[in-house]
Every structure is written in structure tokens, then in C-alpha cells.
A and B are shown apart, each in its own frame.
Chain A
């Protein structure tokens, strides 16, 4: 079971916020316009179907995914409804072209955006906790929400290792409008426990 104290939750939350702050700064510099990124909420769920992401299961989403490995392992994903991802990329690239799907180049740009955010979140945690995390190159996928986790996730339901999801609600605040997306961390219970242990140890050390 996910059993985090308020302080542990707060710590993870703060680490993530520091990460996305850095990500926003580099994005802002890259696209030469103010980009603000905030994480209003972080929730933990045991089943993907419990998250409000699946409120419209047939909605097509764009996802940038990176697997990570180290003391805790799993998969991190930046997820947007496809329409929002189009909007985000085109706002960042300052183009307004009436194409209704991402072109290859836009897809790669979204991949870079995902890469920057996911690296920042993971890096922030790794940096503070003092444990290196190995990440894979990001991959892109586009599919219906309900099918987002069915494949590609390394977890095996038969083995009883049900994945646990840490879901960050991410808000991009751009000049014209806000675009909402999610960052998903899919980990098994062992990894969550390791993370919790690392946080606890870090707090002990830091606070004496």
C-alpha cells in the first residue's frame, strides 16, 4: 500500500516542483517566451482506472515516455490530450498551421519537451536523494487513454506486482493560455517503498 506521511508527500511534491521549475526555465529560454510550469496536485493511485485521467477513456492522448532504472524503477510519462499537445507544440514553436495531427517534427519537439520535464523531475529527485537514476531515451506514443498503460509497461499483473501510479497534474502557463497535462510515474510497489525509504532517510539526515 502507498503509505506516505504528509511530510514525505510534501517532500516529493517540492522536489518535483523544483524539477519543473528548472524545466520551465530551459523551455522558456529555448522558445524565447515566458513559460511557467506548475504542479498543482500530486496523487497516488493503485489502479490507472482510479485516476481522473481516464474520465474519457476513448480520448486520444499523446504521451512521451521514458523508463528509468536505479534504486527505484518504472516508467515516467508526460501525457496530453492530442488536441492539447498540438496546441502546446504550436504555441511553443509559434506556428499556426491548420494540420490536425502532429507532424514528425512536431512530434519530436513534443518528445523534447517531455524529455526536459521528465529529466528535470527525475533529476531533481536523484540529485536531492543522492542516488543516480538511469533513464532511457524518450519514446512517443499516441493512443486512446484506456490503452495507455496496457502494453509497454513492464509490469506483470500475473506476478501480482500491480503498478502504482504517481500522477502529477501539470499546468503550462503560456502567454495566451494555459494547457493542462499530466505526468505519470508508473512504479511497482517495491520501487515506491524504496522511494519512500530514500525520502525518509534524506529527511533524517537533513533535519538531523
Chain B
């Protein structure tokens, strides 16, 4: 857990970003957490910095989370990408898994986010 990681949160809801960021920073104090409110900015930021984690909302104006995830997956094969969404239908889950993305159902809870990150860290 000593490893310093970086996370990019992509969500059009500021609330959601703040919430997830709070959960992460209170558990992984030295991690870097950046935010983007839409897909284009996220792509630009990912190009600047190699993030270890990309947490993406599904419903966003413009490009949706699956489309963005697909592009980022291809560009950054080593990053862990998770779709964090209120749209919890099987269809979306299956699509996310098909694209090599993890699936996290909204609402985000501290337990849910930490379990996910800890699980991933253990696997690294």
C-alpha cells in the first residue's frame, strides 16, 4: 500500500467526483486524484499523465463512458479502468466487461470504492 498511485475520475457530476475523491484520499492519503468532467478533457489528461486508475461515469454529455473507456483501454493497456454508473442494467455491465472494464454501481460508497482499489492493488 506504500505504492503511490494516480487516479483519474471522469464524471459530469461534481458531487460524484468529490465523493469518490474523498473516499480515495481518506484511504490512500498519498495518491494523486485528478478530475475531468467530460471525455475530451479526460483524454487530454490521460495523454499528459499515465494514470493507474481510470474511473468513468456512463451517462455523460457527448461521448458516453463506454465509448471513452474503449478508447482509453486501447491507449493505456496497463491502466485499470472502471465504469461507475447509475445505469446498472445487465446489458451495460456485459458491454463494460467485454471492453475489459470493471463495473461499479452507483451510488459510490466508501466501502465499495476501497474494496475495489484494494482488490486491484493486491493483484498487482
Query: Is any CB of A less than 8 Å from a CB of B in the complex?
Result: yes
Which A residues have a C-beta under 8 Å from some C-beta of B? 6-7, 10-11, 13-15, 17-22, 24-25, 28, 34-36, 38, 124, 127-128, 203, 206-208
Q: Is B75 an interface residue (CB 8 A)?
A: no
Q: Report whether A17 and B88 are in contact in the complex, using a CB–CB cutoff of 8 Å.
A: no
- The verdict on B27 contacting chain A, using a C-beta distance below 8 Å, is no
Q: Of the candidates B16, B26, B87, B107, which one forms a contact with A24 in the assembled complex, judged by CB atoms under 8 Å apart?
A: B87
Nearest chain-B residue to A17 (Cβ)?
A: B86
* Set A34, A38, A124, A203: member contacting B18, Cβ < 8 A: A203
The answer to whether B15 and A14 touch across the interface, beta carbons within 8 angstroms, is yes
The interface size bin for chain B is 10 to 19
Q: A25 touching B89 by the CB < 8 A rule? A: yes
- Do A21 and B13 contact each other (CB < 8 Å), given the known contacts A206-B19, A207-B19? no
Question: B23's closest neighbor in chain A, by CB?
Answer: A206
Give me the interface of B with A, judged by CB distance under 8 Å.
13-16, 18-19, 22, 26, 59, 85-89, 91, 106-107
A-B interface pairs (CB < 8 A), number: 57
Evaluate contact between A7 and B88: CB separation under 8 angstroms.
no
Across-interface contacts of A35 in B (CB, < 8 A): 89
Tell which of B19, B89, B91 has the most Cβ of chain A within 10 Å: B89
Contact, CB under 8 Å: B19 / A38: no
Q: What are 9 contact pairs spanning A and B, CB under 8 A?
A: A14-B13, A15-B107, A17-B13, A22-B86, A25-B87, A28-B91, A127-B107, A206-B18, A206-B22
A25 B88 Cβ-Cβ under 8 A: yes
Please indicate the chain A residues that have their CB under 8 angstroms from the CB of B16 in the complex: 14
Enumerate chain B residues within 8 angstroms of A7, measured Cβ to Cβ: 14-15, 18
Classify the interface of chain A: helix, strand, loop or mixed.
helix
Checking A13, A18, A34, A38 against B89 with a beta-carbon cut-off of 8 angstroms, the contacting residue is A34
5 tightest Cβ-Cβ pairs between the two chains A and B? A21-B86, A11-B15, A14-B13, A18-B86, A18-B106
Chain B residues whose CB sits within 8 angstroms of the CB of A25 once the complex forms:
87-89
- Pair B106/A38 contact, Cβ less than 8 Å: no
Q: For B13, B87, B106, which residue has the most chain A Cβ atoms within 10 angstroms?
A: B87
B87 contacts A36, CB within 8 Å? yes
Q: From residue A198, how far is it (CB to closest CB) to chain B in Å? A: 14
* Measured CA separation A208–B26 after assembly (Å): 9
The distance from the CB of A155 to the nearest CB of chain B, in whole angstroms, is: 29
Is the pair A17, B59 in contact by a Cβ cutoff of 8 Å?
A: yes
